[in-house]
Structure formats: C-alpha cells, structure tokens
C-alpha cells in the first residue's frame, strides 16, 4: 500500500520561503509521475508542479521561477521548494504519485493521481 506523508507547511509573510517534504512508502514501481497540487478554500484543485521518470517537470504559470519540484530517490522523498511566496499561494498542499509516467501531463492538469497524501497547510500573509 502506497502512503505519502507531507510536512513543512506553515505561516509566512509575503516574500518568504518554505520547503515542503513528502515521504513516500510502499511504492514499488520503477516509473512514476510525482508532484504537488493545492486547493484553496472555496476553489478548485490546482496542479502546482510535477516530475516524471525522465526528469521532465511541469509548473503552473503562476509559480514558474518561484517553485521547484525535486526528488531524493535515496530518501524516497519529494520536495517542493517555494520562494517569494505570495498571499495567493495560500492553500492546502498535497503531494501525489502515479505509476503512469506517460500520463504525467494530464495528471498535472487534472491532479487525479492514484495516490495522494493528507495535505499540509501553507498560509502567506501580506
């Protein structure tokens, strides 16, 4: 059974930084699409960024140049480095993984991964 556990959320002022971590356990496949999506109160789920087995990354336009998705395969951990945070980044952030790496672009758009964590809250004040 695949389990994902996020950490690193919190409250920061506008312009600050946070690094979210997600430890993945029970994932046995060699191919993957791993990433992060977020959901703000009263809004639709929104893909933030993801990475596939070939190292290709995708980001929503509003976070390009500010957020970075990375992996530490030895630690089975996915990271989301968030710099220059803005109030509109306030949301619950979820990490997710799916074995369909060839479907990674669609998963980025839909956030319909097979497995996801419980989320970590990020709040950015102005």
Q: What's the pLDDT score for residue 74?
A: 87
Q: Are 1 and 96 in contact (CB under 8 A)?
A: no
> Residue 99, Cβ neighbours under 10 Å: how many?
18
Q: Which pLDDT value is given to residue 75?
A: 85
What is the reported pLDDT for 56? 94
Tokens found for residue 38:
């977020």
pLDDT digits (tens, 9 = 90+) for 15-66: 999 999 999 999 988 899 999 999 999 999 999 999 999 999 999 999 999 9
The tokens 């970075």 sit on which residue? 68
Give 6's pLDDT tier (boundaries 50, 70, 90). very high
CA within 13 Å, CB half, 26:
10
Q: Is the pLDDT of residue 13 over 90?
A: yes
The pLDDT value recorded for residue 20 is: 98
Q: pLDDT for 97-123, tens place per residue?
A: 999 888 899 999 999 999 999 999 999
């Amino acid at each position: 059974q695949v389990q994902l556990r996020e950490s690193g959320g919190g409250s920061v002022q506008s312009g600050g930084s946070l690094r979210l971590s997600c430890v993945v356990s029970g994932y046995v496949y060699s191919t993957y699409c791993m990433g992060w999506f977020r959901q703000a109160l009263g809004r639709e789920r929104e893909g933030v960024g993801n990475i596939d087995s070939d190292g290709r990354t995708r980001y929503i336009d509003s976070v390009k140049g500010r957020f970075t998705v990375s992996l530490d395969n030895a630690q089975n951990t996915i990271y989301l480095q968030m710099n220059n945070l803005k109030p509109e980044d306030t949301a619950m952030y979820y990490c997710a993984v799916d074995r369909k790496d060839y479907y990674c672009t669609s998963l980025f758009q839909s956030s319909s991964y097979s497995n996801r964590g419980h989320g970590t809250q990020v709040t950015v004040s102005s």
